[in-house]
Structure 1
Amino acid sequence: MRHCPLKPYILIPLVAISACVAGASWVRAQSERGHSDNEGLDLSIELVDPKVLRVCADPRNLPFSNQKGEGFENKLAELFAAKLQKKIDYTYYPQATGFVRMTLGAHRCDVIMGFPQGDDLVQGTNPYYRTAYALISKQGSDLNGVAELNDARLKGKHIGIVAGTPPATNMAANGLMGSAKPYPLMIDTRVDSSAEAMINDLNKGDIDAAILWGPMAGFYAKKSDPPLHVTPLVKEKTGPQLVYRIGMGVRRSDQNWKRLLNRLIQENQPEINQILIGYGVPLLDENNQPIIAEATTKSP
């Protein structure tokens, strides 16, 4: 289950990663060696099959991806495949321990569609969105608009939090853990979801608020009936930062592939933003202001 980017202080099962891609220096030269793909970038050595967009993904981890192609990373892969005139092929593996080693590192696929900027396990592309952990509450709650965890309105409230994620540290620093309800970080997304459990508890009234990684917060808040209120935690002054940039991850050896992905991100940012906003992702610009549908040309 993906909760956040990794560094600093970061734990994301997206890349909950005990294995490094450093051992993945193996490359396969194809019979198509010398084939030129997209404006002179030769991908025949870097990619196992330059004619196919080979994506590393979780089989059950909405809103990011699933085997039915319902996640926003599935939709981004479809967008890029169309631009590249390639077919898509997925390697699915739960985004828990060993994810990078068993997918990208094993050359079973060529790109992780969502990866935190600054993590050194893989080579990152330029970021294509910026978001934050967010506080979720019911519409009309006195917690609507709480944008930092030292807000007095949170004292004594039962707040759902995924154990081990960055905002848990901030909650502890503000004396909020005594009445908090923790949810497990390390789970098998094929059979469980801490985010769904947390949102169910919020809707039932078992907790007063929930804190989740922004894409998950926006997605589940939008799905709820009635929809829930989402406030990105952008004003934190102590503890780990809660705002992060997300790009894509490739092998360190794949320089031309990274350049091509960077170009696709730059050329298609408005469409990327539209996809993300459609899933409720709380997009932020560099001033921590929300990017709305009317301003989708903005870059992270």
Structure 2
Amino acid sequence: MTAWAAEATRSAAVTLLLAFTAGAGQAQTSDLVSKTSFRVCADPAADPMSMKDGSGYENKLAELFAAKLERPVSYTWFPMATGFIRQTLKAGKCDVVMGYAQGNELVLNTNHYMTSAYVLVVPDSGPLAGVTKLSDPALQGLKLGVIAGSPPATHMARYGLIGKARPYQLVVDRRVESPASDMLNDLAAGEIDAAVIWGPIAGPLVKRDHPGMKVTPLIHEDGAPKLFYRITMGVRQGEKVWQRELNSQIRRNQAEINALLTEAGVPLLDDMGERPLDVGQ
């Protein structure tokens, strides 16, 4: 065999090997994502976001995306706690988590489809109705409810509000406990003076169960930590094709997404978390 022929044979073998390797990688990636259903990993009792009876706004968001992709929705249910991603998405039992904070390393994030913030909830006809910042002197000496360990607690400590605060647990089994609902019920009963909760939880609960309360996004706080977050969908690490497909759907259907979230009562902000989003734009 001549040197040229040997080199040609070796090149052909390398090309074949690369093609086979790429093909195997593509098959592995595509095989993991279902082509016949929109497979969602979800908490069965994360009211008002996801519910096993389909009443959560993330359920409705899943239905919207499934319709655009012309696939039925199917669910893998697991409590949103330690092991959630490992037992669902990483195990290949489902293909997408509908709501995940941007930048979380456990998943590959899509582009964000909403920006929201922690909120202050107070009676809408009471003396705190005009409060927009945790540094407002009107909050001094009052009892505020807050999820223990959540970002607003740092600001509350800075302004001397922690001493009288009532903490509610951060990590619970939502099938048997609901800290946000408990906090709002305590506010309605007068056991606390105000509630500080993640807006996409507080807004829908207030709209549905506590129409006499006012929800104010905390967008004017000074210093760290930030209180607004961009929310994405989460897919498996390495699933770039699936990520791009969902990114395309987010981009093309953003107006419908905004309308769905606004109808649910989610307080939406502009991308920088500086002002309420005008969904009519």
TM-score by length of 1: 0.82
Displacement, 1:43? 6.6
* Structure 2 counterpart of 1:168: 153
CA distance in 1, matches of 2:201, 2:123: 16
Correspondence for 2:258 among 245, 260, 273: 273
* Structure 2 counterpart of 1:250: 235
Displacement, 1:252? 1.1
CA distance in 2, matches of 1:217, 1:59: 18
The 3-state SS of whatever aligns with 1:229 is: strand
* Structure 2 counterpart of 1:11: none
CA distance in 1, matches of 2:29, 2:74: 17
* Structure 2 counterpart of 1:107: 92
CA distance in 2, matches of 1:226, 1:256: 43
Opposite residue 150 of structure 1, the aligned amino acid is S
Opposite residue 290 of structure 1, the aligned amino acid is P
Structure with more helix by fraction? 2
CA distance in 2, matches of 1:226, 1:262: 35
* Structure 2 counterpart of 1:263: 248
Q: Unmatched 5+ residue regions in structure 1?
A: 1-28, 35-41, 296-300
Opposite residue 159 of structure 2, the aligned amino acid is N
Displacement, 1:292? 4.2
RMSD between aligned alpha carbons?
Answer: 1.8
Correspondence for 2:76 among 70, 87, 91: 91
Deviations 1:270-292 (A, max 9, x none): 10001100111000013522124
| 1:57 maps to 2:42 | yes
CA distance in 2, matches of 1:247, 1:186: 21
CA distance in 1, matches of 2:179, 2:145: 10
Deviations 1:214-259 (A, max 9, x none): 1111012112344310000001112310011001000112110000
Correspondence for 1:217 among 196, 202, 222: 202
* Structure 2 counterpart of 1:71: 56
CA distance in 2, matches of 1:159, 1:207: 6
Sequence identity, in percent?
A: 49
Deviations 1:116-156 (A, max 9, x none): 11111111000000000000000122222322211111101
CA contact (8 A) 1:46 1:253 kept: no
Displacement, 1:294? 2.8
Opposite residue 172 of structure 2, the aligned amino acid is I
Q: Which range moves more in the overlay, 179-188 or 286-295?
A: 286-295
Correspondence for 1:290 among 259, 276, 281: 276
CA distance in 2, matches of 1:63, 1:268: 22
Q: Which range moves more in the overlay, 141-150 or 96-105?
A: 141-150
Displacement, 1:293? 4.5
* Structure 1 counterpart of 2:31: 45
The 3-state SS of whatever aligns with 1:118 is: coil
CA contact (8 A) 2:219 2:275 kept: no
CA contact (8 A) 2:230 2:271 kept: no
Equivalent residues in 2 for 1:89-238 (5 A)? 89-238=74-223
Number of corresponding residues:
257
CA distance in 1, matches of 2:164, 2:218: 20
Opposite residue 165 of structure 1, the aligned amino acid is S
Displacement, 1:95? 0.4
Displacement, 1:50? 1.3
CA contact (8 A) 1:43 1:50 kept: no
CA distance in 1, matches of 2:263, 2:119: 17
CA contact (8 A) 1:114 1:248 kept: yes
The 3-state SS of whatever aligns with 1:136 is: strand
The 3-state SS of whatever aligns with 1:90 is: strand
TM-score by length of 2: 0.87
CA contact (8 A) 1:46 1:257 kept: no
CA contact (8 A) 1:145 1:231 kept: no
